[in-house]
Structure 1
Amino acid sequence: MDWELKRELKEQLAQETGYYRYPMGTRTPVALVYPNSYFVGMSNLGLHIVYELLNERDDVACERVFLPERKELKRYENTRTPLMSIENQTPLHDFPIIAFVLSFEMDYFNVMQMLALGKVRVKAAERTEKDPLVIAGGPCATFNPEPLSGVVDAFVIGEGEVIMPAFMDAWHEAQAQGMSRQEMLLHIAKVPGIYVPSLYEHQYDEAGHLTAIQALPGAPERVSRQWVQDLDAHPAHTVVITDNTEFNFYLIETARGCGRHCRFCMAGYCFRRPRNRSLGVITREVKAALKHKRRIGLMGAAISDYPEINELCREILGEGLSMSVASFRADSVTKELVDSLAQSGLKTLTMAPEAGSRRMRAVINKGIEEEHLFNAMELGLKAGIRNFRLYLMLGLPFEQEEDIDAIIDLANRLKDYMEEKGAKGTLTLSVNPFIPKPFTPFQWKPMADRKYVEHAFKRLTQELKKRKHIIVNVESPKEAYIQGVIARGGRRVGEALLLAHELGGSKAFKRAMKECGLSLAEELYRERKEQEVFPWDRLDMGFTREYLYAELEKAGGLKATIPCFDGCHRCGVC
């Protein structure tokens, strides 16, 4: 045991306020694990929500565990000290329940690494009656749990506020009745929104394509996503205050879900329907944040879509606080919102057209036109904001070479406009390769060839570097293409993940794929058939695949889908 590591965790806890810490042995310990650093994990609002939800029960003591920084990792490995929690420095293997928060595919490698560091058997099939139950929730768990089906015992499909209380009740019932591990898995599988992968058998043809998913006796035929009907019943805000976070704000969630129907966006489908918190509830949370004297970070799919955003801005600034937003849409942004952000010290206004041409924005059903971008820029310039950022994607379905030219042209014209208005600031383009996601209309489409995307990145960079104060930032294609495999991967990709872990991590993934008899080209570039069986087909998001396929056909025909509205029954979620 490295006692210095234990002391450092105690010091980290001493720098926090708002944490829960219960005497050992008085409640069921649950490890809430974020498979990345403390700095990143403590900026995740979902972690705060579940942490408070569990600790407010009278039978659970939830403690947080994070991936150590690189220097600390070496010390854990060299001293064979098990990974420990922040609150009580409890070894990971001593928790009866280990709950991961899954937000990003690349963190899957960290999941396996953390289990190994915590002295927990990585493979679910090898765990015994004495081993912890490993569960996982979050966006990645909801839309496709299969790549980690060999590691995680049970997945939370949907929103934790609805599922976790029933899950904990079922787990305690299983303990009280002395159920075996297998009996317990069958028992918790009856909880709505809990998916136990070992209760489903995947069948393949000679080419290795998935042909059927068979539910074993006792398992539900389908697992339906669960979601909060009334957000006001579950206020969501920062719980533990610390200075050591990526976003050093007091986070408040204004809304959940999105009804804009952007065809590339998994969140827009897997978190329907769009729901807003009432202004009264958010205002109370703002007042509760006063004592912390921190900038308010408003969270939601598009803050500018919040119906009472102007009133909320006045409330925050009226209390003497400053604010920031997770995102806004250029077609719904208001002068009051932009002015409030400028008053709060915002230096860069971010817009997300996602594509440069009108045609491509029609393909993805973005709903934002150039006039919206120029209007948002004008609002920013008038408010004193001098820098702007555009989020864009390359390699979208139906994309053509001229769509790359359109990005270059749009960037130049936006920069011209900045200069015409006397702004000497910077225009930054953040460009990412498009990754097809499950439960979206583009789940059938191949990922664009990597050579094409690298060529497009090079063209953008070379053309726009000629212009002063335009910066092009591109995501690493290498990492994006690993994400592309994992996002739609099934259990065979899961086997490659496990092998990559044994071989050293993400850098060994390509080799592991090959050794498992899998082709990267097959996983990335193959167009899926309309009736193809997908690894996530036993999950029910509330809408049919026919609905999604109709949206794909509309994308090819450049046809728009209007946003969600009250009384709408198009997709089936409502």
Structure 2
Amino acid sequence: MNWKLKQQLQEMLKQEQGYKIFPGGFRKRFALAYPNSYFVGMSNLGFHIIYDQINNRNDSACERFFLPDKNLIDDYTRTHTPLMSMETQTPLHDFALIGFAISFEMDYFNILQMLSLGKVKLLANERTEKDPIVIAGGPCATFNPEPLSLFIDAFIIGEGEETINNFLDVYNDPSNENLSRKELLFKLAQVPGVYVPCFYDHIYDENNKLSAIKTNDTVPQKVSRQWIRDLDAYDGKTVITTENTEFNLFLIETSRGCGRHCRFCMAGYCFRKPRHRSLDKLLSYLPQAKNLNKKVGLMGPAISDYPQINELCSHIRNQNMPMSVASFRADSVTQELVNALAQSGQRTLTLAPEAGSEKIRHIINKGIEEEHLFKSISMGINAGVKNYRLYIMVGLPNEDENDIKAIVDMTIRLKQYMEKLGSKGTLTLSINPFIAKPCTPFQWSAMADLKQTEKYFKYIKSELKKYKNIEVQFESTKESFIQGILARGDRKISQVIYEAHLNGGSKAFKRALKTFKINADDYLYRNFDKEELLPWDSLDMGFTKDYLWKELQTALQEKHTIQCFDGCKRCGVCK
């Protein structure tokens, strides 16, 4: 084991507050892995929450793993040093249970790299009783686990706080110690919200199309997504503080789930119903943030929709604590929220109209009108904020050239309005290609041709470069190509990921597709049929495919769906 690599982890640990190390021998160790850098992983609130849940048990000790930086990966490989934990610098392969928290499709390749660095067998069917059980949770694991089914023994479907405890109750039960690996996995598959892919056979027809999903033994036909009814029953705040995070914030989760019904948004469907933490619960977190001299970062799917957002902002600012939010809805933002952000030194306010034309905003059910954007900018400038950012998607269903031109026209109008109000600040467009996500109304929808998307990108940039202080940023279409396939991928994509890993990772993905004679167009540029069996159909999100299909038809008619309300039974989640 390389001493310098071990020492580097120890030095990082010294810069942290809040981690836990338990005496050996009393608790079963759990390796919690984030398949990206320490910097990114420690900025993820869900990672903190699960770490805390595991350590709050009296039978488990959680230790963290992250993907090392590129130069350190070379050092691990050159010195044959296994990937080690933050807390005790224990090799990954020494843990009996490994859990990955997965937020982004592009991190799938990092999972294999971490397992490889940790000297853990990559393929689930090659692991024996002596090998770790590898599980995964998080948004990507919830909406479509199939592209990772070759590598992951069990998936946590839905919100992890309750499920991970129920899972560990079974895993740590002394009466299960003498079970074979398969017998233990079978017991774990009985835990609500646990999906064990080896018990679900995916059958393909002569056209290589998924034709049936057959269950082995007596596992559930469908695995139900788990979600917390009372957020106050669980903490939603930063657990370990360090300077080495993306924004150096003390994160607080105000809400979970969104009832706005944006039809492209996985979070709005996979985390229903919308729930809020009580104001008292949120206020109880502030003393810890103040003692640590940290800026408060409010987290939630739609921060400005929090019912007591004004009171929360007042409490934070009355204690002379700075605060921040990633973005807010332009139709529900308040002057109090904007003032609090401005007083906290936030230099840029971020809005997410997603589209330039009213037509597309109706199709995606965004519910934002241009007047809301003008009003939000006016609030910001009145509070002293000069710079603004807009999130935009290109390639949404039924989009045409007029909708692309509308993005340019809207941007110019907003910039002129900023100048009219006296702001010489920058208006930044952050533009991403639309990627259809499972378990949303657009799960059947084809991605727009990426070559055409690139042409639209160039058009937008060329039209807006004529104007001072307008910046345009684009996401790579090369990554979007991969993300689109991974998002709607089936088990065949698992072998592609494996082949790509053996040949250099994501850069080898296209070549791996050709190796297995898989046509990317089948995943990207094809509208799935209504009756088609989808790879994620063994999961139950709480609503039916018929409901999602009706929402898709409503979208194509450019009709609006009202947001969730008390007593609503439309989608089936609130039964």
Please report the TM-score for the alignment, with normalisation by the length of structure 1: 0.99
Residues 191-202 of structure 1 mapped to structure 2, 5 A cutoff = 191-202=191-202
**Kept in 2: contact 1:300–1:327 (CA 8 A):** no
CA distance in 2, matches of 1:292, 1:85: 25
> AA paired with 2:2?
D
Unaligned stretches of 5+ residues in structure 2: none
What SS class does the counterpart of residue 17 from structure 2 fall into? coil
Residues 254-265 of structure 1 mapped to structure 2, 5 A cutoff = 254-265=254-265
Per-residue CA deviations over 1:132-163 (Å, capped at 9, x if unaligned) read 00000000000000000000000000111110
CA distance in 2, matches of 1:240, 1:205: 50
> AA paired with 2:466?
K
Find the counterpart in structure 2 of residue 16 from structure 1.
16
CA distance in 2, matches of 1:193, 1:174: 22
Find the counterpart in structure 2 of residue 416 from structure 1.
416
Per-residue CA deviations over 1:19-78 (Å, capped at 9, x if unaligned) read 011122221010000000000000000000000000011110100000000110000010
Residues 536-555 of structure 1 mapped to structure 2, 5 A cutoff = 536-555=536-555
> AA paired with 1:243?
E
Find the counterpart in structure 2 of residue 101 from structure 1.
101
> AA paired with 1:335?
Q
Per the TM alignment, residue 520 of structure 1 is displaced from its structure 2 partner at its CA by: 1.1
Find the counterpart in structure 1 of residue 445 from structure 2.
445
CA distance in 2, matches of 1:318, 1:437: 41
Per the TM alignment, residue 289 of structure 1 is displaced from its structure 2 partner at its CA by: 1.9
Residues 357-506 of structure 1 mapped to structure 2, 5 A cutoff = 357-506=357-506
**Kept in 2: contact 1:135–1:153 (CA 8 A):** yes
CA distance in 2, matches of 1:451, 1:67: 32
The answer to whether 1:219 aligns with 2:213 is no
**Kept in 1: contact 2:28–2:172 (CA 8 A):** no
> AA paired with 1:279?
L
Residues 196-275 of structure 1 mapped to structure 2, 5 A cutoff = 196-275=196-275
Find the counterpart in structure 2 of residue 556 from structure 1.
556
Per the TM alignment, residue 319 of structure 1 is displaced from its structure 2 partner at its CA by: 1.2
CA distance in 2, matches of 1:272, 1:247: 28
CA distance in 1, matches of 2:61, 2:172: 14
What SS class does the counterpart of residue 410 from structure 1 fall into? helix
Count of aligned residue pairs for this structure pair: 574
Per the TM alignment, residue 130 of structure 1 is displaced from its structure 2 partner at its CA by: 0.4
Per the TM alignment, residue 404 of structure 1 is displaced from its structure 2 partner at its CA by: 0.4
**Kept in 2: contact 1:431–1:472 (CA 8 A):** yes
> AA paired with 1:195?
Y
Find the counterpart in structure 2 of residue 139 from structure 1.
139
Find the counterpart in structure 2 of residue 151 from structure 1.
151
Per-residue CA deviations over 1:74-115 (Å, capped at 9, x if unaligned) read 000101100000000010000000000000000000000000
Per the TM alignment, residue 205 of structure 1 is displaced from its structure 2 partner at its CA by: 1.3
What SS class does the counterpart of residue 173 from structure 2 fall into? helix
**Kept in 1: contact 2:256–2:275 (CA 8 A):** yes
Per the TM alignment, residue 175 of structure 1 is displaced from its structure 2 partner at its CA by: 6.1
The answer to whether 1:288 aligns with 2:288 is yes
Per-residue CA deviations over 1:257-296 (Å, capped at 9, x if unaligned) read 0000000000000000000001011011112322111100
What SS class does the counterpart of residue 349 from structure 2 fall into? strand
CA distance in 2, matches of 1:347, 1:218: 56
CA distance in 1, matches of 2:172, 2:349: 49
Find the counterpart in structure 2 of residue 88 from structure 1.
88
What SS class does the counterpart of residue 389 from structure 1 fall into? strand
CA distance in 1, matches of 2:171, 2:522: 40
Per the TM alignment, residue 174 of structure 1 is displaced from its structure 2 partner at its CA by: 6.6
> AA paired with 2:9?
L
Per-residue CA deviations over 1:460-499 (Å, capped at 9, x if unaligned) read 0111011110000000000011000000100001110111
CA distance in 1, matches of 2:25, 2:137: 26
Find the counterpart in structure 2 of residue 190 from structure 1.
190
**Aligned-CA RMSD value:** 0.8
> AA paired with 1:369?
E
What SS class does the counterpart of residue 211 from structure 1 fall into? strand
Q: Is the deviation greater in 200-209 or in 126-135?
A: 200-209
Per the TM alignment, residue 413 of structure 1 is displaced from its structure 2 partner at its CA by: 0.4
> AA paired with 1:393?
M
Moved over 3 A (4+): 174-177
> AA paired with 1:450?
L
Find the counterpart in structure 1 of residue 47 from structure 2.
47
Find the counterpart in structure 1 of residue 341 from structure 2.
341
Per the TM alignment, residue 173 of structure 1 is displaced from its structure 2 partner at its CA by: 2.4
CA distance in 1, matches of 2:286, 2:564: 28
Per-residue CA deviations over 1:435-465 (Å, capped at 9, x if unaligned) read 0000000010110001110010000011101
CA distance in 2, matches of 1:89, 1:177: 26
CA distance in 2, matches of 1:97, 1:17: 25
**Kept in 2: contact 1:84–1:118 (CA 8 A):** yes
Q: Is the deviation greater in 169-178 or in 259-268?
A: 169-178
What SS class does the counterpart of residue 264 from structure 1 fall into? coil
CA distance in 2, matches of 1:301, 1:109: 27
CA distance in 1, matches of 2:453, 2:209: 27
Residues 522-537 of structure 1 mapped to structure 2, 5 A cutoff = 522-537=522-537
Find the counterpart in structure 1 of residue 311 from structure 2.
311
> AA paired with 1:493?
I
Per-residue CA deviations over 1:184-219 (Å, capped at 9, x if unaligned) read 010000000000000000011122111110011121
